[in-house]
Amino acid sequence: MHSVVLASPHARARAHALVEKAPQGFVCKIHEPKRTLEQNDFMWSLLTDISVAMPMGRRHTPDDWKAIAMNACGWECLFIEGIDGRPFPIGFRSSQLTKSQMSTLIEWLLAFGAEHGVVWSNQGDEN
């Protein structure tokens, strides 16, 4: 399997050549890159701050807040009951988000936090 990041004219030419050489019936996928490690770190920082702030009096772990936020952004995330009776999220994982989807999630977290008076520990970070 070949993967080419379309970052230059040379890379685009390589991708084109690979498509031309591919046998009949092969599949070519072009997709947006997945979220960055910096976005992931920033998301977890925001989720931790929200968890500590307990907006609306809700006490949830950062993992729970992630699932709540992903659901609020329109990505399906199911909750099932664990052995201890606490619900936990299953389904869509943030590691599968694209850069733009992760930006949407981060923007939602920032707006939600601002609406509920969350104090951010990483002021000035970028998404």
Residue type for 83, please?
A: I
HEC string of the chain equals: CCCCCCCCHHHHHHHHHHHHHCCCCCCCCCCCCECCHHHHHHHHHHHHHHHHHCHHHCCCCHHHHHHHHHHHCCCCEEEEECCCCCEEEEECCHHHCEHHHHHHHHHHHHHHHHHCCCCCCCCCCCC
Residue type for 104, please?
A: T
pLDDT in tens, the chain (127 residues): 788 888 899 999 999 999 999 999 999 989 899 999 999 999 999 999 999 999 999 999 998 899 889 989 988 777 788 899 988 767 767 888 999 999 999 999 999 999 999 999 986 555 5
Place of tokens 């590691």: 95
Closest CA to 40 of 90, 112, 120, 109: 109
Residue type for 101, please?
A: Q
Chain centroid to Cα 124, Å, comes to: 20
Domains of the chain by start residue, with CATH: 1-30 (no CATH), 32-115 (1.10.3790.10)
